[in-house]
Structure 1
Amino acid sequence: MFTPQGPSLRELARQALSSVEHGYDLLAPKFDHTPFRTPDSLLGAVRRALAEIGPFEHGLDLCCGTGAGMTVLREVCRRSVTGVDFSAGMLEVGRERAAVPHPSADGARDAYAPAVSWVRGDVHALPFRPVFDLVVSFGAFGHFLPRELDGVFAQAHSVLRPGGRFAFPLPAPATPRSSWYWAALGFDVAMRVRNALWRPPFVMYYRPFRLGLARRKLEQAGFTVELLALPEFGRRPDGSPRCRMVVATRK
């Protein structure tokens, strides 16, 4: 939930009536005090899962925002970590916070101390060659319409070395018995009404991004796809994981 240090209702309204890029520029100074930031519990689960299949040399955080996912990369990548985002405001906050010494999971300084860089760029046209062996993304796919995912996944594929991994967490969808289901449905409906009545649009629909869609689009982009359960979040009554990490490997 929002903390007292988070944005006011007026600030959220101003952001919601902006474009996606300008909206995040406005929200950046208080973003980490909102529920939109990826929870530490999820970051930790992904870090532990990546450590099992790593270590890696060069990592890229796609749509890095203020850098929550960069903390994961700094613990599993040995040589370099790069964050890319189109919001100058989010990148500025990320750079400032990255300047503070970052402790590793056991309280010590980073074991590998990789070089860290922040790049302003468009995920539809990434300014990189195929130099990464790990690409991650946290919470960004709701900002892309389903038809845009082909291009986004193709770009992730293009910056990976052969055999490189593209990994991201994907929680199981809430059921109609859950309050989260109705909250997400209400949010998506409100965003569609907003975009029908106001320009520029603010794309933020999290319900359409599902495992079946993601897997199909990844395979079409040239990846092989593996699913790893994140055991920290348990299982649903039907036995399926409450949260998975999708690991797509460039052939």
Structure 2
Amino acid sequence: MFTPHGPSLRELAVQALSSVERGYDLLAPKFDHTPFRTPDSILQAVERALSALGPFDHGLDLCCGTGAGMGVLRAVCRESVIGVDISAGMLTVGRDQEPRPAEPGPRVAWVRGDALALPFGPVFDLVVSFGAFGHFLPREFPELFGQVHSALRPGGRFAFPLPAPAPPSSPWYWALLGFDTAMRVRNAVWHPPFVMYYRAFRLGDVRRELERAGFDVELYALPEFGSRRDGSPRCRMVVATRRDDSSQRREASHSSLAAS
């Protein structure tokens, strides 16, 4: 299905009836031959935008899958790049496909871990993620963003692309609505659940939860994808910068004194 090298309809059905972790273990060998892999056009646009903000020293690809976003980090990070994912199968494929650099570059590592329980301290200057947020329910966003916050150094950045939602006049609007509805029905009648909802990650909610988690949020238009009829970008890069904890404590202290 999708391409001659992609998964069959039966293989996709077996994946969809599995847990997220097991499903991606099964799909991993053929994942890069599906539309689920982040397109190179988005990866290249984000790399260009991050290059203007960097360079960075240590980068983390959150929910890295087979490593499509790892190339972005290798291009903008000088010291180290780590990919973390819950699926051992996806990590194995990513590790096996790791290109041999023509010249010295950042150290690269692949780590199995849960995005809601990251095994890192505040060591990263940059965290990126591509196409993985549909695997988290809105009630999990505070925990997810809190984990990213704890893995970043003060002043570190969390960056990810966020396409504008399709309007109701677009066939994509109805296709994604149908997919999300089918997944909700599937999860209501079949266990274990397979969480993947394309329409649950909305900019307004995401921005609010990022700010609550201790980030300052900026939006960067990705001009490569043009504009909608109302002039808004078709795709943005969200950049959330971790606030300095000492500054937050001083602000809270001043607010408390002013209130008294």
Letter of the aligned partner of 2:127 in structure 1?
A: V
Among candidates 191, 197, 216, match of residue 208 of structure 2: 216
Residue 241 (1) aligns with residue 227 (2): no
Deviation digits for residues 33-76 of structure 1, max 9, x if unmatched? 00000000000000000000001000000000000000100000
Tell me which residue corresponds to 1:165: 157
CA displacement at 1:101 relative to structure 2: 2.5
Tell me which residue corresponds to 2:50: 50
Of all paired residues, the percent bearing the same amino acid is 77
Residue 118 (1) aligns with residue 139 (2): no
CA displacement at 1:208 relative to structure 2: 1.3
Matched position secondary structure for 1:237: coil
Letter of the aligned partner of 2:124 in structure 1?
A: F
Matched position secondary structure for 1:68: coil
Tell me which residue corresponds to 1:92: 92
Residue 180 (1) aligns with residue 172 (2): yes
CA displacement at 1:32 relative to structure 2: 0.3
- In the superposition, the TM-score normalised over structure 1's length comes to 0.95
- In the superposition, the TM-score normalised over structure 2's length comes to 0.92
| Whole-angstrom distance in 2 between the partners of 1:86 and 1:14 | 19
**Where has structure 1 moved over 2 Å in runs of 4 or more?**
none
Tell me which residue corresponds to 1:140: 132
Deviation digits for residues 169-194 of structure 1, max 9, x if unmatched? 00000001111111101100110111
Structure ID, larger Rg: 2
Tell me which residue corresponds to 1:27: 27
Letter of the aligned partner of 1:37 in structure 2?
A: R
Among candidates 147, 166, 190, match of residue 155 of structure 1: 147
| Whole-angstrom distance in 2 between the partners of 1:91 and 1:80 | 17
CA displacement at 1:3 relative to structure 2: 1.2
Letter of the aligned partner of 1:250 in structure 2?
A: R
Residue 101 (1) aligns with residue 100 (2): yes
| Whole-angstrom distance in 2 between the partners of 1:125 and 1:197 | 28
Gaps of 5+ in 1: 103-108
In the TM superposition, what are the counterparts of 1:224-239 in structure 2 within 5 Å?
224-239=216-231
Tell me which residue corresponds to 1:106: none
CA displacement at 1:206 relative to structure 2: 1.2
| Whole-angstrom distance in 2 between the partners of 1:20 and 1:125 | 16
The CA RMSD measured in Å over matched residues stands at 1.0
Letter of the aligned partner of 2:177 in structure 1?
A: L
| Whole-angstrom distance in 2 between the partners of 1:127 and 1:197 | 33
Deviation digits for residues 141-200 of structure 1, max 9, x if unmatched? 100000001000000000100000000000000001111111101100110111111000
